[in-house]
A = this chain, B = another copy of it.
Amino acid sequence: MSTADGTWNVYLSGEIHSDWRQRIADGVREAGLPVKLLAPVTDHVASDDVGANILGEEQDQFWRDHKGAGVNAVRTRTLLQRADVVVVRFGDKYRQWNAAFDAGYAAALGKPIVTLHDSELAHALKEVDRAAMAVGETTEQVVEILRYAIAG
């Protein structure tokens, strides 16, 4: 039986201030896995400004953010719905509520979730981790999980 079961879409949600996505991309490429990695826009400034940049500046910061979040959601909702597996990364900075939101969204759609965070965040993340199929601390572990899940 073939170990290659078609392309897997893996959405990488969460932290944008470290190189974890690149490390997973490197690991997946080295392992030769048939994976298409999906992600939100990770350029913080571009992501924050996209609403104002495309649709016009706003005076009120709340609506400026609202516009930007809408444009980003065109991307993230589409890719989340296209994903086979959702990896959610929580870093030690920022609150990353959008990562937890994505996890809840994926859980309701019945998609397998893998969380990735340091152990000191485990207590605060226990509800999210409970909804996940695996909880990793390193990108190497995530790559190994994908390798096992896809290539057996």
Which A residues lie at the B interface, using CB under 8 A? 1-2, 5-6, 8, 21-22, 25, 36-39, 41-43, 50-51, 54-55, 58-63, 65-79, 81-82, 84-85, 90, 94-110, 112, 114, 119, 122-136, 141, 144-145, 148-150, 152
How close is A132's CB to chain B, nearest CB, in angstroms?
8
B100 touches A54 (CB 8 A): no
Q: Main SS of chain A's interface residues?
A: helix
Chain B residues, Cβ within 8 Å of A133: 70-71, 73-74, 77, 130
How close is A96's CB to chain B, nearest CB, in angstroms?
8
**What are the 6 tightest A-B residue pairs by CB atom distance, in nearest-first order?**
A104-B104, A108-B108, A100-B100, A69-B130, A98-B127, A104-B105
